[in-house]
């Protein structure tokens, strides 16, 4: 009887052991299947390599000045009728103010009028100054470090901006350069002429000036596409849905782009987003082509 119980116990333990082994093999198999199964190709966004304008720049600040301006001093009690000044534009030769003594104030050129009260005791409390500004052309005088003397020359393009105009750029050129360097500041004076046909810039306004030089048309890629490791720069291009690593030589950076001097060519598809998910010779899936 005892022998029969022992046999039954052994059989039960044996069956349980086999069940445990089978179960363990099943779950271990699932684990390795999941670990070593083929993963789907990562999705990437690509950008076609194309030529763009790249340049270097000198950035500084300056105050806007009307190219032509004049002031007229008059006494209020000498004016005939109402003096209309605010937001008034006049033509050359137009009467600005008719005076009782017949010495009328005549506009020397076309422009916008303004007035400035004079402090009491300077010319008398009944006096004022009328200003006339030709706003079609604005000039900005700027100081440039002498290290740029070899670069600076009349005709260079300039971009003009101000915090008063969100994101707006005005076009200008370097119209003249001083013949001397200021020994006290080690800088040279340059004048920027700006087209202001819409009369948006007003005299006295602080403007940011960016002088453009060394313009060149080169192929470029988004900054996000470039990976820099030490002295090496590289990108991934896509061919036949496969990522290929390409070492490149980079140049200037403008507008979120990097100019590429060698390593890729115009028309290549470079990965601009999703770079961290790919490796050389891995399969990728293009989910969107950025134009």
**What does the pLDDT profile of the chain (291 residues) look like in tens digits?**
556 776 777 677 777 777 777 877 776 766 665 555 556 888 888 999 999 889 999 999 999 999 899 988 888 888 888 888 888 899 998 988 888 887 888 999 999 998 875 554 554 557 788 899 999 999 999 999 999 999 999 999 999 999 888 889 999 999 999 999 999 999 999 999 999 988 899 999 999 999 999 988 999 999 999 999 888 999 999 999 999 999 999 988 888 899 999 999 999 999 999 888 889 998 988 887 555
Same domain? For 211 and 164 the reply is: yes
Name, in order, each residue with C-beta under 8 angstroms of 76's C-beta and a sequence gap of 6 or more: 83, 126, 127, 128
CA 153 to chain centre: 24
15, two tokens: 């069956």
CB 287 within 8 A of CB 277: no
Name, in order, each residue with C-beta under 8 angstroms of 276's C-beta and a sequence gap of 6 or more: none
Coil, helix or strand for 11?
helix
How many CB atoms sit inside 10 A of residue 258's CB?
A: 23
Same domain? For 211 and 227 the reply is: no
* Domain CATH number, residue 128: 2.40.50
pLDDT in tens, 69-117: 998 888 888 888 888 888 889 999 898 888 888 788 899 999 999 887 5
Last residue of a domain, one of 166, 184, 215: 215
Same domain? For 145 and 196 the reply is: yes
* pLDDT given for residue 213 in this prediction: 93
Coil, helix or strand for 246?
strand
User: Ramachandran region of residue 87, left (φ > 0), alpha (ψ -120 to 50) or beta?
Assistant: left
Of 60, 67, 58, 59, the C-alpha closest to 201 is 67
* pLDDT given for residue 290 in this prediction: 52
* pLDDT given for residue 77 in this prediction: 81
Same domain? For 223 and 286 the reply is: yes
Same domain? For 190 and 256 the reply is: no
Same domain? For 76 and 129 the reply is: yes
User: Ramachandran region of residue 240, left (φ > 0), alpha (ψ -120 to 50) or beta?
Assistant: left
CB 239 within 8 A of CB 248: no
Coil, helix or strand for 184?
coil
Same domain? For 19 and 47 the reply is: no
Asked whether the CA dihedral 57, 60, 61, 67 is positive or negative, the reply is negative
Same domain? For 158 and 128 the reply is: no
Of 195, 213, 180, the C-alpha closest to 56 is 213
* pLDDT given for residue 117 in this prediction: 59
Domain range spanning residue 144? 57-62+137-215
Same domain? For 129 and 145 the reply is: no
How many Å apart are CA 215 and CA 57, to the nearest integer? 9
Same domain? For 31 and 73 the reply is: no
Query: How many angstroms separate the most distant Cα atoms in the chain?
Result: 146
Last residue of a domain, one of 191, 215, 239: 215
CB 72 within 8 A of CB 116: no
Same domain? For 203 and 226 the reply is: no
Same domain? For 227 and 177 the reply is: no
Of 286, 280, 241, 246, the C-alpha closest to 265 is 246
Last residue of a domain, one of 215, 230, 264: 215
* Domain CATH number, residue 188: 2.40.30.170
How many CB atoms sit inside 10 A of residue 222's CB?
A: 18
Domain count across the chain: 4
* pLDDT given for residue 180 in this prediction: 93
């Amino acid at each position: 009887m005892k022998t029969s119980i022992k046999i039954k116990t052994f059989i039960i333990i044996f069956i349980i052991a086999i069940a445990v082994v089978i179960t363990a093999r099943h779950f271990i198999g699932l684990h390795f299947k999941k670990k070593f199964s083929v993963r789907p190709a990562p999705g990437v966004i690509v950008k076609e390599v194309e030529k763009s304008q790249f340049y270097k720049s000198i950035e500084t600040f300056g105050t806007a000045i009307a190219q032509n301006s004049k002031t007229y001093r008059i006494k209020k009690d000498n004016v005939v009728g109402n003096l209309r000044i605010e937001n008034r534009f006049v033509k050359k030769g137009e009467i600005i103010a008719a005076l009782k003594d017949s010495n009328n104030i005549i506009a020397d050129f076309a422009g916008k009028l303004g007035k400035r009260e004079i402090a009491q005791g300077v010319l008398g409390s009944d006096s004022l100054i009328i200003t006339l500004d030709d706003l079609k052309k604005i000039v900005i005088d700027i100081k440039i470090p002498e290290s740029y003397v070899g670069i600076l020359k009349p005709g260079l393009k300039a971009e003009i901006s101000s915090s008063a105009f969100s994101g707006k750029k005005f076009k200008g050129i370097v119209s003249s350069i001083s013949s001397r360097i200021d020994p006290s500041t080690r800088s040279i004076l340059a004048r920027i002429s700006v087209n202001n046909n819409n009369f948006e810039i007003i005299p006295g306004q602080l403007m940011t000036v960016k002088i453009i030089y060394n313009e060149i048309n080169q192929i470029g890629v988004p900054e996000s596409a470039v990976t820099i490791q030490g002295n090496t720069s590289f990108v991934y291009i896509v061919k036949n849905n496969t990522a290929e690593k390409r070492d490149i030589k980079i140049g200037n950076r403008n507008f979120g782009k990097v100019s590429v001097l060698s390593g890729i060519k115009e028309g290549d598809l470079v990965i601009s987003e999703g770079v961290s998910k790919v490796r050389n010779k891995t399969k990728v899936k293009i989910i969107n082509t950025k134009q």
